[in-house]
Structure 1
Amino acid sequence: MNKQQTQVSEKQAWKALAALCIGFFMILLDQTVVAVATPQFQTELGASLNQVVWVSSIYLLFFAVPLLVTGRMGDRFGQRTVYLVGMVIFTLSSLACGLAPSVEWLIVARAVQGLGAAIMTPQTMSVINRIFPREKRGAAMGMWGAVAGLATLIGPILGGVLVAQVGWEWIFFINVPIGVVSLVLVSMWVPTMPQMARSIDFGSIIVSIVAMSALIFAIQQGPELSWPAWIWALLVLGLVLVVVFVKLQSSRGADALVPLAIFSNRNFSLGSFSISMMSFVVAGIMLPIMIFLQEGHGLSAQQAGFMLVPMAVLSGVCAPFVGKLSDRLDPRVLSVAGFSFMLAASVALVVVMREGISFWWILLPVVLLGFGNGFVWSPNSATSLRDLPITQVGAASGVYNTTRQIGSVMGTAVIGAAMQHGIASSQAITTAMGQSLIPAVVVLVMGLAAVSQFRNQAIVRENSHPVKTPAQS
């Protein structure tokens, strides 16, 4: 075991992971759960379509922007402490969302909720890589991947039930008791770990936040505003500041907010890119599917949510099994299979989501999406971070999750713009929703090309070099 890795028993490591995954589940659930409540936001809060889009977009914006910083914060102040702070912010802002008397209030509360999510997210991956030995990380990431896939997919299902039975407010209120449980369990089960970073470069923090804010806001609002000159200026500013940020990191060496050495690891670079492509699709497809089923075919929110049950079940069943396999197989095998399923599902969605075709045909791509999610999340994550030094794991987790969230923001913006273009061009709403998913097909081709270039990782078998825990010592 790496001398800087935290030694815990295997039982304690799995308990710690379970505690962290409760919060991680909530974070990802809240990315997709609001899609199903779109009609209720419009009728009960008087929200316009643009405001409804911002209920999702503002969460993604405030989730994505700080991730480079919050990943390194875990190294500096301890992953357990930083996670707990983020959970408090997330839980209180969830309560504020449920109490929102207007859509403007809801948008502000969602921004704070996104900040809490950004503080928590990198800590989960960092803890996995610090408390699990190398040959067990695939299995641990399998559990993490199961949670990621289930949360993202079960959002519309759970949201549909809550909206239909007790009201849209409860898609946020439900986070409060779960958040309290997570706070208690993390306090009890997650060990305090040594700090990995001596300091944090505040100049880099400011540059990274301004750069990410400019880029993500421009990407989100460019399609909505038809790309005016000031949006292009904002995009250029963001790109220039990214160059400035990279130069700052090269001068900081090991204490950089993002040590550039992590990108010399081929699998990390490919994995970060491919997960952004995956997130583009997962974040972008839910809203058109919900509109297709509810407004195109007259299903209720609850009925539309239940159409996605096979996707959630298959993803949850596959992910732990696939995670264990990723400790033994060439990572390309599982990741290529996952992206192939996702690509086939997206093509099928474009074909069946059109006027004159029964909505029951959507079950075919739903099943393929379930397999795709189950085969992508855990192998991609385990492969990306497995061979990085422990001292760089916090920063790498921040970068990995940043690329994942940028993918989500881009997916929401691009597919959202395609939806509005389809409706404006007088297409039937069913056909417009299907055509809006063509960009998902394109990005999945790129993701598939990336994971096909993964390098094989030799895994040490657990019976050849056993790792001693304190109890065994």
Structure 2
Amino acid sequence: MNKLKGVLPVLLLGNLLCMMDVSIMTIVLPEIQSAFGESLTELSWALNVYTITFATLIIPFGRLAERFGQNKFVFGGLLVFGTGSLLTGMAPNLAWMLVARAVQSVGAAAIIPTSMVIGLDLSSMANRNRVVAALAGIQGLAVALGPTIGGIVAQYWGWRWVFFINVPLVIIDLLVFGFVLPLRHEKTVHVKIDWLGALLSMIMLFSFSLGLIKGNDWGWHTGTILGLFILATGSFLLFLLWERHTANPMVDLALFHSRNFSGSGLALVLCNFFLGGLAVLLPTFLTRVHGTSELKAALLMTPYSVTVMLTVILTSLIIKRINNKLILTVGFLLMGVSYYLLSTVPLGSNYRHLIVADILLGLGYGLVAATANILVVADFHGSRLTSSQSVANVLRQVGMVLAIAVFTTLLTSNVSQAKQNTMTDARVRINRLSNLSTGQRQRLTKKLQHKLQPTSTTVSATNSTVKPTVVTVSTATRLQKTDQAYQTALQKLAVTQQISPALLPQTVKQKIHHTVSQVVNQKITQKIHQLNQELANLVQSVHHTLKHQLNHAFLNVFTALSWLPFAAISIIPIFKFRHTT
């Protein structure tokens, strides 16, 4: 136990950094979007490449660690993760970033499952729950803390330091590592790796995620999207068939004979899906729709991060005293209420409503995740204990991958519709401006079309504002209109006096010209002022409509999925009535 006290902080720091980078990008996505000029849909792959690679390599890396030495494997994983973090921070474009993020995830996959095995090997049966709760809890906390820490770092040092900051922390962990965990003369076990199973799972995750994310762009009924879903289904079925008959399966399907394991697996997928949805949408919602800074957005997300941390700790302490089904039920109910509140966040600057929803989601996630993390390993010992923890890690990532894909897909569709609604409303308002010529209406409509980009899924209510068009009348036009009015006035006066306009006295002509010039210029000035005021009101109205529409585009995602946390309660009967140790 004394040795565990020295090792655990090193393992916790490694787990914290790896899992934090699952969600830390969400807060800086808007800033990276501006830097790289990419859409939110394309940038979502910077999140997906991390989670998909991570989920696919966790189990085979767990086996490789047994072959080459678990301590050396975690040490090497930290080196790779630190290198990937440095490369990600240096990224000049999206392609570079995707490769760098993949390098990061390779290191994370080497660290996460093996850290849990090292911790469990050094712990006794009496304190196993605490070790599992600590390592699994730090993972959930890291996902929750990612946006908050990322926002603070980005605000003061820029988005690149969100990744650079990992490097000194990794170096510290590596320096301490050699003192608490031996790297020489480790016990190793010769095991075979199920590379075919790993390949099939990667094909399944990648094709399913790509199909969900690109469904709107490519069309849900196109051959490409249908082919991706068929490929995902086929690879999944082949994966199950292969795993049942291979001697060294990537996933021991016998694990699912345990009701606690099956129920916990589903619970982990679902709770990470619900947490991931908030982590993906909220930063962009706050910075691009409500116009807050990254720092303020991070602070608004802090309540749920703190709540997750406290709830995970408390749940791990009381889990033996309270019926597990009750804890899970309350957790899913709280997440359901949170999603309902998130679907009704007002457009104003009062964020109390949002903070309450944050806290409820943190409470719900903490209750479900902490309970599931403990129950997922409750029925196993030896090699199956290792396998159960590895599969649990995969399922957590599956939840995050699904969240990124599903929430991004729904948001993309909603944003496109929001922009189209705004453009339709703008056209109606432009046609009501009777003082504009047809050409001016067309030019104004084209300008709005270019600024709003209704077919684009780029989210921004703050950068899509059209500057009011200022209408002016040239001096030549004023003189022309004055002369026309002057000639008309002369004709009327000449007709009245029944003489030729040329015979009118010069002093009379000068007086008429002066009076007509004043009247004409006054009318022109009034008309211009009225028209410019109408245009300013139009632009203000378009901006308000866009912000209102984008606000609902985000909230409607939570509305569409608010039923799911309540439906998740249906998995509760899968668990044993009560787990005791």
Is residue 412 of structure 2 the alignment partner of residue 420 of structure 1? yes
Deviation of residue 31 (structure 1)? 1.6
**Partner residue, 1:247:** 241
Is 1:433 the equivalent of 2:554? yes
Hey, what's the Cα distance between the residues in 1 that align with 2:134 and 2:171?
22
Separation of aligned partners in 2, 1:48 and 1:120: 32
Q: Give 1:409 deviation, angstroms.
A: 1.0
Measured against aligned partners, the alpha-carbon deviations of 1:36-78 in whole angstroms (never above 9, x if no partner) come to 2123213323333333222222222222232332233334444
Q: Quick check: 1:384 aligned with 2:384?
A: no
1:270 CA displacement: 1.1
Label 1:118 to 1:442 Cα distance change in 2 as closer, same or farther (>3 A): farther
Is 1:71–1:397's contact at 8 Å kept on the other side of the alignment? no
Assess if the C-alpha contact under 8 Å between 2:62 and 2:113 holds in 1.
yes
CA distance in 2: counterparts of 1:67 and 1:115, whole angstroms: 9
Contact 2:41/2:213 (8 A) holds in 1:
no
Q: Give the match's secondary structure for 2:226.
A: helix
The change in CA–CA distance for 1:97 and 1:285 in structure 2 (over 3 A counts) is same
Q: Name the residue aligned to 1:273.
A: 266
Question: Bigger CA drift: 325-334 or 281-290?
Answer: 325-334
Work out the percentage of aligned pairs sharing the same amino acid.
24
Q: Distance in 2 between matches of 1:312 and 1:175?
A: 19
What amino acid sits opposite 1:242 in the alignment?
F
Listed as ranges, the matches of 1:65-214 within 5 Å are 65-190=56-181, 194-195=187-188, 198-214=191-207
Q: Is the 8 A contact 1:144 1:378 kept in 2?
A: no
Tell me the distance in 2 between the aligned counterparts of 1:313 and 1:48.
31
Output aligned runs, 1:258-407, within 5 Å. 258-352=251-345, 354-355=346-347, 358-407=350-399
Q: Is the 8 A contact 2:20 2:143 kept in 1?
A: yes
**SS of 1:200 mapped into structure 2:** coil
The verdict on how the C-alpha distance between 1:210 and 1:170 changes in structure 2, with shifts beyond 3 A counting, is: same
CA spacing shift, 1:250–1:57, aligned 2, 3 Å: closer
- Cα distance, 1:316 vs structure 2: 1.6
How many residue pairs match? The answer is 449
Q: Tell me if structure 1 keeps the 8 A contact 2:82–2:170.
A: yes
8 Å contact kept, 2:267–2:369: no
- Quote the Cα distance in structure 2 between the aligned partners of 1:197 and 1:216: 34
Change (3 A) 1:332 1:169: same
Measured in 2, the distance between the counterparts of 1:301 and 1:457 equals: 44
Q: 1:442 to 1:69 in 2, by over 3 A?
A: farther
2:580 is matched with which residue?
459
Deviates more, 1:38-47 or 1:338-347: 38-47
Query: Which 4+ residue blocks in structure 1 deviate beyond 4 angstroms?
Result: 190-197
1:465 equivalent in structure 2:
none
Amino acid in structure 2 at the alignment position of 1:115: V
Structure 1 unpaired stretches of 5+: 1-9, 461-473
Q: CA deviation at 1:207?
A: 3.4
Q: Which amino acid is 1:375 matched to?
A: L
Partner residue of 1:217? 210
Give the letter for the 2:325 counterpart: R
Shift of 1:181: 2.2
Could you report, residue by residue, the CA deviation over 1:208-264 in whole angstroms, capped at 9, with x for unpaired residues?
4334433343344335533332232232223222222222222234x3222221111
Q: Which moved more, 1:386-395 or 1:86-95?
A: 386-395
CA deviation vs aligned residue, 1:172-206 (integer Å, no higher than 9, x gap): 00110111222233443346875566322344344
**Alpha carbons 2:269, 2:396 under 8 Å: kept:** yes
Matched AA of 1:303? K
Contact 1:220 1:409 in 2 (8 A): no
| Pair member with larger Rg | 2
Cα separation, partners in 2 of 1:48 and 1:249, compared to 1, 3 Å: closer
What root-mean-square deviation, in Å, do the aligned CA atoms of Structure 1 and Structure 2 show?
Answer: 2.4
Distance in 1 (CA, whole Å) between partners of 2:6 and 2:332 is: 31
Q: Deviations over 1:156-186 (max 9, x none)?
A: 1111111111111100001101112222334
* Structure with greater contact order relative to length (CA < 8 Å, sep ≥ 6): 1
Deviation by residue 1:16-48 (Cα, 9 ceiling, x = unmatched): 232111111112211221112123213323333
Choose the corresponding residue for 1:35, options 26, 45, 51.
Answer: 26
* 1:225-240 pair list within 5 angstroms: 225-227=218-220, 228-240=222-234
Q: Contact (CA 8 Å) 1:46, 1:103: kept in 2 or not?
A: no
Instruction: Name the counterpart of 2:483.
Output: none
What is the TM-score with the length of structure 2 in the denominator? 0.72
Q: Judging changes above 3 Å, is the alpha-carbon distance between structure 1 residues 187 and 283 closer, same or farther for their aligned structure 2 residues? A: farther
* CA offset digits 1:115-148 (Å, max 9, x no partner): 2222222223333433323332222233224312
C-alpha distance after superposition, 1:60-118 (max 9, x if no partner): 22222323322333344443332222221111010001111223212221122122222
AA aligned opposite 2:234 = V
Provide the TM-score with structure 1 as the length reference: 0.87
- The whole-number CA distance in structure 1 between the counterparts of 2:404 and 2:361 is 18
Decide whether aligned partners of structure 1 residues 454 and 363 sit closer, same or farther in structure 2, where only a CA change above 3 A counts: same
